[in-house]
Amino acid sequence: MIELKSPVEIEKMRTAGKIVAEILASLTEQVKPGVTTSYLNRQAEKMIVKLGCRSAFKNYRVGTVVFPAVLCASINEEVVHGIPAERAVCDGDLLKLDFGVEADGYYGDAAVTVAVGDVDEDSMRLLRVTKECLDAGIRKLTDSNRLGDVGEAVQAHAESAGYGVVKDFVGHGIGRALHEDPQVPNFGKTGRGRRIKTGMVLAVEPMINIGGPGVRITDDGWTAVTLDGGRSAHFEHTIAVTDNGPEVLTAL
Ligand code: MG
């Protein structure tokens, strides 16, 4: 069942969203060659404490596997759900930071791809197109559109650039839980899928590969990597559907 949020709930989600945006922006500023992903995770933990909210990701459980950090940090061919480690990012890397909090009972979730130092042109194009895919998806989040409109907008933009759209992970409803109904795929057909309504709050999160769309999970039980070893990019926002169109809650 898709829970529609009241204006009071959306106001709470604005607060959670702003916190996510603020922390992600701070982390992005701290990314440079030589920084470890566990350092970024510690910085995120400190800001969570300072801002009086709770991590959405730490101890998140899927079956028997438990996510051990507040931040997902995925490098290059890692697509999503990378576990922070004493591993430094290098000049030329693409670093994906995915981060979420719960504040006053409501969740916010967002992700960015950060270019570390000097990044090659092909990777910069992937980063730019993936960001455009997110924007194209967000533009479709208006009352009485359908989720297939969002999926097709994302997929068409990525595929016209020659990229692979990851199908194994999708966006989601968000609110009093991190993951709620409905699923929001980054692929689909215009006019198909659930109808979008004012009061829905959705996380749209295209994961786009420079090569094929296939991914696999590594032995740590979390990290998704591309099957062909090519690089991947990921952007995500939490968005409220309002009578005036989409409102991005995780923007500064
Ligand atoms: Mg998400």
pLDDT digit string, tens, across residues 51-75: 999 999 999 999 999 999 999 999 9
Q: What is the mean pLDDT of the chain?
A: 98
How many angstroms does the Cα of residue 244 sit away from the middle of ligand 1? 24
**Is-contact 213 79, C-beta < 8 A?**
no
Q: How many residues does the chain have?
A: 252
User: Among all chains, which residue has been given the structure tokens 């969570």?
Assistant: 48
Cα(123)–Cα(156) distance, rounded to whole angstroms? 19
How many angstroms does the Cα of residue 184 sit away from the middle of ligand 1? 10
Give the Å distances, CA to CA, from 207 to 98, 112, 196, 211, 230: 12, 11, 22, 12, 13
pLDDT band, very low/low/confident/very high, at 114 (cuts 50, 70, 90): very high
Token pair for residue 195?
């109808």
pLDDT band, very low/low/confident/very high, at 112 (cuts 50, 70, 90): very high
Phi and psi for 74 in degrees, rounded to 5?
A: -125, 130
How many angstroms does the Cα of residue 19 sit away from the middle of ligand 1? 15
What integer pLDDT is reported at residue 247 of this predicted model? Answer: 98
pTM: predicted TM-score of the whole model, two decimal places: 0.98
Q: In order of start, what are the domains of the chain with their CATH numbers? A: 7-248 (3.90.230.10)
How many angstroms does the Cα of residue 193 sit away from the middle of ligand 1? 19
What integer pLDDT is reported at residue 101 of this predicted model? Answer: 98
